[in-house]
Structure 1
Amino acid sequence: MNKSLHHRHSLQRLAQVALASATFAMAAVASPAFALDNVKVMIGANPGGGYDQTGRSLGAAMIAAGVAKGASYDNKGGAGGTIGLTQFVNSDKGNPNALVVTGAVMVGAIETSHPPVTLKNATPVARLYADTMVLTVAANSPIKTLKDLTTQLKANPGSVSWGGGSKGSIDHILAGLIAKDIGVDPKKINYVPFAGGGEASASILGGHVTVGIAGVSEFLPFIKTGKMRALAVTSKDRTADLPTLKEQGVNVEIYNWRGVYGAPGITPDQRKALIDAVVKATENKVWKDALQKNDWTPFLLTGDEFGKFVDAESLRLGTTLRELGVAK
């Protein structure tokens, strides 16, 4: 009798243990599995611009998606983001919770100034989105179409002044690619660099430059109100229903893309966790809202594939910068 009672108690105890562990397992599945503790985001630009919005939007989306407990941001502007990259590579080696924001601008800056620290010293995680670029003229400009622009450029390259971001920027590269495609020497491009979007739009509207280049989102308000006329966008398909360069016979497609790299010296498992966490964040409403608000086009590519894309982009942008005479 005692024996069987003891046996029954043992079975009950076993059942309780089994139930408890099953409940624990279910709870573990239900609660967000934090891939990262606090994610540390290095932003190689001053607050307020595209790099800054990218880093902060991604950090917020990672928290909202439950893949990071918190996020901290470090803004280190200068030299196209390469100063921030150098600090990141030197101070975060082996840190599985660290990310640095990168993009076409940084790739161009690396090709121009050949810094000792490049993206080869960090770990490719994910390309996030593309910012399509647009060519615009003032509403009262005698240039009505892309054809008008290319005709004038062929006849007298110096008579066309291009207003855009800093020398060697993605805007400058776009002007070089268009010239090259229509058979004009990129070194003859008359490029006028501006410090910020506000200065560029004022110059276009005032007719101080022939044509302006910026991200679609920056010039869209002026295009919608009819103050600027859009000649072409740089995407494969129409953006904001504006005609592309390609559909008008200029074979150029380029984006001001942005993405993130991880620290050097992280393990393959840590890298996978980082990629998974970033991908989860891009599926979150917080990220999707940021895409919509900023007119960013999703352009996700991860890991080694992203690394290969950056290598190809470095070659393409670097070649154009050398042809423009900006890079050696």
Structure 2
Amino acid sequence: MKYQTLGAALLASAAFVAPAFAQDIVLRSSDTHPPGYPTVAAVEYMGELISERTDGRIAVQVYHSAQLGEESDTIEQTQFGVIDLNRISMGPFNNLIEATKAPSMPFIFRDVAHMRAVMDGEIGEEILAEFDDHNLVGLAFYDAGARSMYNRQRPIESLEDMEGLRIRVIQSDLFVDMIGALGANATPMPYGEVYSSIQTGVIDGVENNWPSYESSGHYEVAGYYTLTEHLIVPEVLVMSKPSWDALSEEDQAIIREAAQDSVAHQRELWEAREATSEEHVRAAGATVNEIDKGPFQEAMGPVYERHAESDELRTLIERIQAVE
């Protein structure tokens, strides 16, 4: 089943939330990334597992490339059941679910292994549970690598090189303040508008990971990639609570287990894609450089002060930092 417009998807949603489930169920899943991207492929793999385990009664149709909308636009649609499943970055949830701020904080994870230890454990389970109060069901966390800075103007070798740069960020107050603390000007913008905005000079650069830098073609218009690795933010797979509640407990268990089973597959795909993406952009002539991260980490003090406002969030941050 393929809907050509969002309007068609909205109309079709009524078929899913209806109580009659004798017929097959097709869960519509949203992703901003292109076909073959690790998150897209992982949700497709999850769909295969679900289909196998339900003898074909339930299928997953992944709408990649923001066909159902940009990430920030799809949250509400998922809450209302217009979209059934959604793979989305953690950042757009920061203003909705406080607990998601903790793993989104700059330099909170020492490395990818630390991030996985946190998100695969008790803390990750607690954060997933927080989605329940917002008409969503948290299913799993996917890897999104380390995010670094890239721009069209110059290599970033120090904080001084950040001054005045217009950097695109996702629509999150935390991300806006992070860029501001580095001396640059944050510009929230939908992902799909980034390429042309760099090309025309509306913005100078972006912060993102190797696969996004490569798959989006951003390296073609922003040839300086600086390994700040300021964020290692996991991405989250959620399901609409109305869609979830319409399923039997048995089917809910199948979906939850399939989502968890897709994590290892996604990580394998991610690691391979990171390597090939880096190789591709280096071969294309992008200038890549490392930095002394110390001054960048020290500049994050005001960000932590502003966004770790509650005792609960400060405690959660301390627990994350303490995980070995």
Q: TM-score, normalised by structure 1?
A: 0.47
Please identify the structure whose Cα radius of gyration is greater. 1
Superposition TM-score, scaled by structure 2 size: 0.47
